[in-house]
Amino acid sequence: MSRAYAVAASVTDPEMPMLTLEDLGVLRDVREDGRRVTVTITPTYSGCPAMATMRDDLVHRLTEAGYAAQVEIALSPAWSSDWITERGRQALRDHGLSAPGAAPRPGGPIPLTLMPTARAVTCPRCDSARTELTSEYGATACKALYRCADCLEPFEHVKEI
């Protein structure tokens, strides 16, 4: 792992700061050519407002580390919540968030539904499967709000995409 990669990999997601861009699966490639570094990232979903912050943070951190950095955005293949690493999923649970389940199968048409999606979500605090959706949108569009029927704690679930 190059030093530039290590710097880029340690930048965190502005919306879920317990996750690095590497944990989130957003960091696709780091090419080092002397002091010039080109980082390729894939947005978590199109129009995610966090993307501009991620790009700025990457450039800032790499500049501090002595590199001339540029960030490229790769839209294909599209990011999937399946790309969140096991370490990232554990970090979500450690912070009381429920990690996404398996993403919808690629290939087929993606149903555009306005109804809340039925998911099997377990409570990140007590592991109870008795949870109920309270809001399809949490603090950010990529999270849904749930409540545990056993420990009664509300928690956020990172959506499958």
Asked whether position 126 contacts Zn ion by CB under 5 A, the answer is: yes
Contact 86, 24 (CB under 8 A): no
What the block records as the tokens of 17 is: 């700061």
Q: Which one, 6 or 126, has the nearer CB to Zn ion? A: 126
**CA separation, residue 35 to residues 47, 88, 160 (Å):** 31, 30, 37
Which string of x and - marks every residue 74-113 that binds Zn ion (by CB under 5 A)?
A: ----------------------------------------
Q: Which residue, 50 or 148, has its beta carbon nearer to Zn ion?
A: 148
Contact at 8 Å (CB) between 50 and 41? no
**Cα separation, 111 vs 129, whole angstroms:** 25
With contact defined as beta carbons under 8 Å apart, do 100 and 84 qualify?
yes
Tell me the per-residue interface mask from 128 to 147 with Zn ion, x by CB under 5 A, - otherwise.
x-------------------
In the numeric block, the tokens 């839209």 are attached to 75
Q: Tell me the pairing of strands 27-33 and 36-41.
A: antiparallel
**Min separation Cβ 135 and Zn ion, Å:** 17
Residue 148 lies near Zn ion (rule: CB under 5 A): yes
Kindly tell me which residue out of 3, 31, 125, 147 binds Zn ion, with binding defined by CB under 5 A. Answer: 125
40 touches Zn ion (CB under 5 A) = no
- Tell me how far, at minimum, the Cβ of 122 lies from Zn ion, in Å: 8
Catalog residues that contact Zn ion under the rule CB under 5 A: 123, 125-126, 128, 148, 150-151
